[in-house]
Structure 1
């Protein structure tokens, strides 16, 4: 088994066919086919169903581990080629959608200025999908929202953000700057799916105050949840970063004092440690948050226990 064989099967997984995989690897199709055949012979299984151009079950398992090996090799190269401030190489960072839209432009600009030889590959996703990708090594780090309970990960809070009620200007609550959570008792709301971290956060706050949250619809994805509220499909409770400062329209942001703040954090594996490009990217991210966090309404860069509690 060698690196070329692992690269070949990962390329097939990513690009779908032997010919497309060959183009991505800057080689010819016969080379890719040869690598796969030798790997199959060594492992004693069929990895690619040639008739369907699909990975077999065994092939998918090999790809999962092959990605990990290739990523680790890339990280070794990045670490060895990085000296002091001259950091070079690639980092793969996952980011939840609302934070990505708010922070990614500033992060990439600052990273290009401070570390021009670092290339960041950004993947947007939900916390539930980003966490296992960091643990498997597919991602070097991720920006997610808490809570998380994974002892194998290093968790560093970045900022806290308020949760707001987002309503159309014709809604009965649109005229108020602040409403008590009791006003939402049995009110039809656009809510995250049952079991999601944000839904659990909302339900705990509701239960503490004797309120029942009634879903008008359950929407998987905070950005889509906010977009539907912007378009008047129903009120929704969303984090502050889901409401960009530049966005205008027929909607109102209403404070619900009993709602807690959501804490957003970075995560990375304890072992092996993150590569040098990942470390400087996370450091740059924290600097950007400290400098620009207060400019986004409802965002609080102070993540001390007291600051993460919304004042009532």
Structure 2
């Protein structure tokens, strides 16, 4: 299967239009039509209806596989390019909003002392975008966070598409973040099952996502009272302190203005992992050594 034809198919299916896909890809509309026809001839099934433009059943199945296939191809290209490239004087790090740790900051300080000419950039990104940047070479390594049982790795399906090494950077307790005076503030600990019907702030990029809590507690509860789409911990703290709802955070992220009650049932931790592609840059490998020290 020609990856160029596959990319064209994905663009047409996403845009719902041959002309819009042609404009996005820089092709003529007739060239796009010819590429779709060639892909359908290669696979022996129609992939798109024409009026309206929409995936057929076979096209829908192909779309399910197209993203991971294209990402793996990009990862292979990036790995081969890195093998041939001269050592880079930059280190681009992607990290999910709750993945920054004191351990990372200390290791970066030692790395910059070893390599004073190194330009380090850090960018906060959602998990999927961070892993895509790792596969395409825009990022040299990523730090991802999530909740897991003690000693378990993070379960991130999208991460399976990006081969490389994984390093556990930090594990810490999870706390229920409450405003002062909340009825639960005096407890020594609280269990997820008894919090199912609480007033929650859904802040998937700034706190533990409610979807993760539902999965951990095996329930369809944890419904949001308010949604916060940002990544600013100060804004989330202000919302909690003002009584708009509760959130679960790693211990270090609970602002002193709030009360933090440990989560005791089920036993879960906040985990931060570093992912580095093979072979990785010299600076990236050195950072892993410092974090492992």
In the superposition, the TM-score normalised over structure 1's length comes to 0.54
Alignment pair present for 1:239 and 2:271: no
Cα gap change, 1:120 to 1:149, in 2 (>3 Å): closer
How far off its partner does 1:5 sit? 1.1
How far off its partner does 1:6 sit? 1.6
8 Å contact kept, 1:98–1:241 = no
Cα gap change, 1:218 to 1:285, in 2 (>3 Å): farther
Which runs of 5 or more structure 2 residues have no equivalent in the other structure? 203-207
| Alignment match of 2:170 (pick from 141, 148, 159) | 159
Please list the CA deviations of residues 207-253 of structure 1 after superposition, one character each: whole Å capped at 9, or x if unmatched.
xxxxxxxx7x43499967x946344134443324655x6xx9xx513
8 Å contact kept, 2:47–2:58 = yes
Count of residue pairs the alignment pairs up = 245
How far off its partner does 1:8 sit? 0.8
8 Å contact kept, 2:180–2:241 = no
* Equivalent in the alignment of 1:264: 272
Alignment pair present for 1:20 and 2:20: yes
**Aligned-pair RMSD on alpha carbons?**
5.5
* Equivalent in the alignment of 2:144: 143
8 Å contact kept, 1:78–1:277 = no
Alignment pair present for 1:47 and 2:47: yes
8 Å contact kept, 2:175–2:260 = yes
| Alignment match of 2:260 (pick from 254, 257, 260) | 254
Summarize the alignment of residues 114-133 of structure 1 with structure 2, pairs less than 5 Å apart.
Answer: 114=118, 122-124=125-127
8 Å contact kept, 1:163–1:238 = yes
8 Å contact kept, 1:98–1:222 = no
Alignment pair present for 1:181 and 2:189: yes
8 Å contact kept, 1:166–1:254 = yes
